[in-house]
Chains A and B, each alone.
Chain A
């Protein structure tokens, strides 16, 4: 974990100005303080406030910033967003009409404004007809959909962060992303806040269920429904969010959390 920098004041009092481990940048004209004159300690307390994606962009500004950024990196691989295959809206119960099961190419939903808009479309048709099998160590593993029965499956591994791809042969086996979350919550009360869901308790229990836990350990769980869409529920904040796409399709299940391959080589401490 990065140092918390709580001793800023004390340090400044005893050693003015705080001696940086590296030669200070040349003083700027007319004694005006610019960002280049800030000590690494100050720069770190600024960079520490950035979301990981912004922090990595800032680290690319110059070597001085890279050094400062490398000391305030988050320990866990940063989550950038989610990949999933959108699906058509399921008909409301009790309709037993078959729903259109068209296979759509995977899309990416960035976590926040700082996150990059990643894509699996490295070539115009690269990800078409492919289905995500797993997301692991910054790689998205795809198989043909539907999967051919005869040969050993050909797995396409795409790294959307570096925009590289390679094909690997072998048996696709899911990584073990299971984890235990122990928290007691009254889901009835939570679902009461959704206006569209049926009011009848039994009916509602029949058409809503916890489908998944966010692999990125954000404390979120996903609630799937029969005909009412997919919801994410944040167990930390108690916020329930309907996951709807702008084109009327629904978010697919499972939701593949995408985290960067971590730690990054270029931010490894060198000095």
Chain B
């Protein structure tokens, strides 16, 4: 995905060409450049759509200082894959969650896309999706993280996510009075 910009290219020609280009160039916090389809970027990210509409896209690479190159590569990868996939019924239909809002189930390729990520890459990606206002990618990544919590005891959840238990013994004892079952791994 990394793009080597032709240095000999004249500034004028480039400016003229920019309007007609069907890709945008994004620059990660560590200075790497990525190219992504303008149509997909505008459709999947409210932030990029706003920047494209507002003309604040820099042809030399739009600075995204909050996003590292690994996360940005995944974002761009997701946009490209999304552009190539045919939306199926899963995108339109929604399953009713126990809690409140209905969530769209991830599609097969989206599942595979997040399954191959390491924990760190996944958390980087969820933040990048949030920053760029990519609702669909945020849905998919949040879904994946919630899957990692399912059916686990509090101890197991702490282990998976490397969380420090900051409940005191007294607090836990009090909660146990109310919610004993939640402590068991059954």
A residues touching B (Cβ–Cβ < 8 Å)?
A: 1-2, 4-5, 8-10, 12-13, 16-17, 32-39, 41-42, 45-58, 60-65, 72-74, 78, 113-114, 116-118, 160-164, 264-266
Contacts and interface: CB of A to CB of B under 8 A. Distances in A.
Given A49-B142, A162-B178, A57 B99 contact: no
Contact of B181 (A38, A55, A58, A161): A161
**Majority secondary structure of chain B interface residues (helix, strand, loop or mixed):** helix
B123 A52 contact: no
Contacts of B183: 60
B110 interface: no
B23 interface: no
Interface in B159-180: 161-167, 172, 174-180
Given A13-B50, A35-B161, A38-B126, 12 more contacts: A2-B101, A8-B135, A9-B45, A16-B66, A35-B163, A46-B149, A58-B149, A60-B167, A64-B166, A72-B100, A78-B98, A266-B178
Contacts of A46: 142, 145-146, 149
A45 B165 CA distance: 22
List the 8 closest A-B pairs by CB distance, nearest first. A9-B133, A60-B154, A116-B181, A49-B146, A9-B46, A35-B161, A33-B123, A163-B180
A62 B123 contact: no
B136 to A, nearest CB: 11
B74 to A, nearest CB: 13
Interface residues of B, number: 56
B153 interface: yes
Contacts of A16: 66, 131
B150 A45 contact: no
Nearest to B126: A42
B13 interface: no
Nearest to A118: B181
